[in-house]
């Protein structure tokens, strides 16, 4: 992947690690899903510094590619590349992409919220999709929704947001993680709200500052975000009701779990109950 002629690229793998420094042992600051836009900056060895919509950091250069273009040609020497106005958006936590319309040969897995152009809709069970690098694959119809590129993540009921969060129960905690393969606390709430139609920042402290409506604990309801910390914000969870919350927890459980603020609840979490920084509502 050369970054000399252009700076606009996409992530070319299912999940790409974005690191603080151009070093595989450097901190994983976030991850980016396939077909996410990346503006390339400087190079360092096999690494490229990229600016994503919500973060910046270093990615392996071979995990970038030119944007996917699918369209029609006008005549023998016409211009190809008119982008299709719709994309296939992955609506399952994890979905395999197959090599053919029939059969079980798997090319890769895609993850919740990934959006890719589709090429062919005629097969009754699978949709033919475009992949980076002029590749193609097939994905089951139930794994995706076809949506306008102008509204890839339409506004949905709060129950959809919390439903996606609960679909991640048991997924391993991964600092910087953003997918079903491994996820962190702020990555989980950001992803679930993206699928519900709300774009919020990546990190917990950024989310707290971004959201304007504070909520008293007595008024907490499903979908509210609960921020934790003693001296600064260090954690975030999502309320499921007036006392339960779901979160990707990396200290006691190392996975996505449900806990409660009710001392009589079997999953009461005393430490987190004592360090609630604040509660914010994403939607009025």
Q: Count the helices and strands in the chain (H runs, E runs).
A: 4, 23
Catalytic residue among 235, 243, 265, 269: 235
Closest CA to 60 of 88, 91, 31: 31
DSSP 8-state symbol, 268: B
- Exposure of 77 by Cβ count < 10 A (0-12 exposed, 13-18 middle, 19+ buried)? exposed
For 145-193, give the DSSP string: EEEEGGGSS----HHHHHHHHHHTTTPBB-TT-EETTEE-HHHHHHHHH
CA separation for the pair 151, 113 (Å, rounded): 12
The answer to whether 95 and 143 have CB atoms below 8 angstroms apart is yes
Catalytic residue among 49, 192, 247, 269: 247
Q: 212 is written with which tokens?
A: 């304007």
- Answer yes or no: 185 catalytic: yes
Catalytic residue among 49, 80, 123, 185: 185
The answer to whether 80 and 68 have CB atoms below 8 angstroms apart is no
- Answer yes or no: 235 catalytic: yes
Which residues form the catalytic set?
185, 235, 247
């Amino acid at each position: 992947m050369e970054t000399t002629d252009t700076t606009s690229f996409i992530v070319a793998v299912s999940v790409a690690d974005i690191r603080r420094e151009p070093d595989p042992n450097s901190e994983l600051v976030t991850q980016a899903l396939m077909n996410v836009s990346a503006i390339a900056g400087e190079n360092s060895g096999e690494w490229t510094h990229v600016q994503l919509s919500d973060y910046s950091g270093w990615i392996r250069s071979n995990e970038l590619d030119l944007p996917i273009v699918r369209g029609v040609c006008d005549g023998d020497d016409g211009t190809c590349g008119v982008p299709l106005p719709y994309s296939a958006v992955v609506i399952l936590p994890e979905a395999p992409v197959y090599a053919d319309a029939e059969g079980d040969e798997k090319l890769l897995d895609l993850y919740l919220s990934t959006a890719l152009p589709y090429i062919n809709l005629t097969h009754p069970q699978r949709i033919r999709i475009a992949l980076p690098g002029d590749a193609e694959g097939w994905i089951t119809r139930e794994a995706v929704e076809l949506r306008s590129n102008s509204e890839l993540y339409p506004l949905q009921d709060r129950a959809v947001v919390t439903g996606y969060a609960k679909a991640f129960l048991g997924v391993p905690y991964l600092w910087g993680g953003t997918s079903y393969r491994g996820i962190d606390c702020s990555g989980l709430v950001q992803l679930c709200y993206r699928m519900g139609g709300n774009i919020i920042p990546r990190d917990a402290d950024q989310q707290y500052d971004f959201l304007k409506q504070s909520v008293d604990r007595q008024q907490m309801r499903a979908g509210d975000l609960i921020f934790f910390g003693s001296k600064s914000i260090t954690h975030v969870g999502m309320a499921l009701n007036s006392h339960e919350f779901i979160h990707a927890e990396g200290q006691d459980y190392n996975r996505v779990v449900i806990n409660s603020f009710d001392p009589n609840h079997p999953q009461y979490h005393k430490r987190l109950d004592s360090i609630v920084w604040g509660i914010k509502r994403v939607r009025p």
